[in-house]
Amino acid sequence: MGIRLTATVSSALQRRRRNHRSEIFNIIEAVMEQQRSNLTNTADYSIWKSSSDTYKSVFTTKNTWNLLHQEGTTVEWCKGLFKHHTPKFAFFTWLALHNRLSTGDRMLQWNAGVSSACIFCNQFETRDHIFFSCTYSAAVWSQLMRGLLRTRYTTIWTEVLELTLDNSLGMITTFLTRYVFQITIHILWRERNDRRHGATPISVQALVKMLDRQIRNKCLSFRQLGDFTYAASLSDWFATR
C-alpha cells in the first residue's frame, strides 16, 4: 500500500489515495478516504471500548476483562467470597471449592505409588475428609465454631459450605462463619504440608490459639478502617470462646 511500518495514522492519511490489484487494499483505501473527510483540527483523544457498541473516555479493568473473556454462569458459592475477606484465604478457598488441592485421592491419579493417607489421622485423604471429617481438623473446627453455630454445627463439607451462604444467621455470624471457614482451611492445609515435609507437628490447642489470634486481629481491624458495621464481630467472637 506504500505505507511504512513506522508511519503514524496522520502521515498515512496525508498520502495520496492509490488503486491496488488486491481488493482488500482498495477497501482499506476507501475507509482511509472516509476518515480524511472526517478530519478536524481538534486534538486527538483516547476512548476505551466499554461494551460491544459503547466507547468511553475512562478505562476500567472490569469492562476490559468482560470483553476479553466469555462470561460464565454465576455459582452460588461466590457469595462466600465476601467483603473484608483476606485475599490469600479467599484464593485458597476458591481452589478448595474447585477441588484443585493436591489431596491424596488426586495425587493417586498422577502417581499410583504416592501415599494417599491423611497426615493427621492416616485415613484416605480427600478434600471433604481433611475439611473437616479428619479427627484433627474436626477438633480444630469444633473448638472454633461449635460455640458460634450451636445446633447448626457440622463437620460435613457440603453442609459447612451451605452455612457460609446462609444469610439468615445474621450479618455478624455470617461474616464470622465465612472468615473462620476460609482461614481454617488455609491454616490446616499449611500444617498438613509442613508435616509432610518433616516439620514438628502443632497440637490442636496451639493451632486453635493461632487461629483465634488472627481472627481477633481481623475483628479489631474494622475500627481502624472506620467500618463500624462489623465492629460488633469482636464481642460476638469473644462470646463464643
81 and 149 in one domain?
A: yes
> Do 84 and 175 meet the contact criterion of CB atoms below 8 Å apart?
yes
The predicted-structure confidence for 206-215, as pLDDT tens digits, reads as follows 999 999 999 9
Q: What is the mean pLDDT of residues 26-54?
A: 84
Write down the mean pLDDT value for the chain: 89
Residue 233 belongs to domain spanning:
76-240
Q: Are residues 113 and 45 part of one domain?
A: no
User: What's residue 34's pLDDT?
Assistant: 87
With a cut of 90, say whether residue 240 has pLDDT above it: no
Residue where a domain terminates, one of 51, 68, 85:
68
Nearest alpha-carbon partner for 145 in 228, 211, 59, 57:
211
Per-residue DSSP letter, 100: -
| Co-location of 57 and 165 in the same domain | no
Query: For residue 52, is pLDDT > 90?
Result: no
> 92 and 17 share a domain?
no
| Backbone CA torsion sign across 86, 92, 96, 98 | positive
Phi, psi of 197 (to 5 degrees): -100, 20
pLDDT tens-place string over residues 115-139: 999 999 999 999 999 999 999 999 9
Q: Are residues 89 and 168 in the same domain?
A: yes
Residues 129 and 158 sit within 8 Å (Cβ to Cβ): no
What value does the mean pLDDT take over residues 212-228?
A: 87
- Is residue 122 one of the residues assigned to a domain? yes
Say what the pLDDT of residue 9 is.
Answer: 83
The contacts of residue 3 (CB under 8 Å, 6+ apart) are 12, 15
Q: How many CB atoms lie within 10 A of CB 183?
A: 22
Asked if 137 and 232 sit in the same domain, the reply is yes
- Residues 33, 128 share a domain: no
Claim to verify: residue 60 and residue 88 sit in the same structural domain: no
List, for residues 138-196, the tens digit of each pLDDT value: 999 999 999 999 999 999 999 999 999 888 888 899 999 999 999 999 999 999 999 99
In a domain, 3, yes or no: no
Kindly indicate the confidence band of residue 25, based on its pLDDT and cuts at 50, 70 and 90: very high
DSSP string over 110-169: H-TTS--B-TTTSSBP-HHIIIIISHHHHHHHHHHHHHHHGGG----HHHHHHHHT-GGG
Residue 101 falls in which region: left (phi positive, over 0), alpha (psi -120 to 50) or beta: beta
| Same domain (yes/no): 62, 85 | no
State the pLDDT confidence band at 42, using cuts at 50, 70 and 90: confident
Is residue 2 in a domain? no
Average pLDDT over every residue of 201-225: 93
Average of pLDDT values for 197-222?
Answer: 95
Q: How many structural domains comprise the chain?
A: 2
One domain, residues 105 and 168: yes
